[in-house]
Amino acid sequence: MPNSSSISEFLLLALADTRQLQLLHFWLLLGIYLAALLGNGLISTAVACDHRLHTPMYFFLLNLALLDLGCISTTLPKA
């Protein structure tokens, strides 16, 4: 007996209907985005500029910060 369930349409609902909730979501996501940019930017700058931090642990921390910058810059602005 084959599976006969199928979806013929997809409904995408808005995040918020009222203008106040839209502004709240905008400012909240903007704050999260700027905090992530600032934190990862400071980590990247500190590791890149200080020669004492050129050890394997900080190399991987720099890579993680750069990866996080890339991920947050592609997903959060689309929200």
Domain boundaries, the chain: 4-75
Q: How confident is the model at residue 57 (pLDDT cuts 50, 70, 90)?
A: very high
Mean per-residue pLDDT for 42-59? 92
With a cut of 90, say whether residue 35 has pLDDT above it: yes
Helix (H) or strand (E) segment spanning residue 75: helix 56-75
Q: What is the mean pLDDT of residues 37-48?
A: 93
Q: Round to whole Å and give the CA distance between 69 and 35.
A: 11
pLDDT(76) > 80: no
What is the residue-averaged pLDDT of the chain?
86
Confidence (pLDDT) at 59: 92
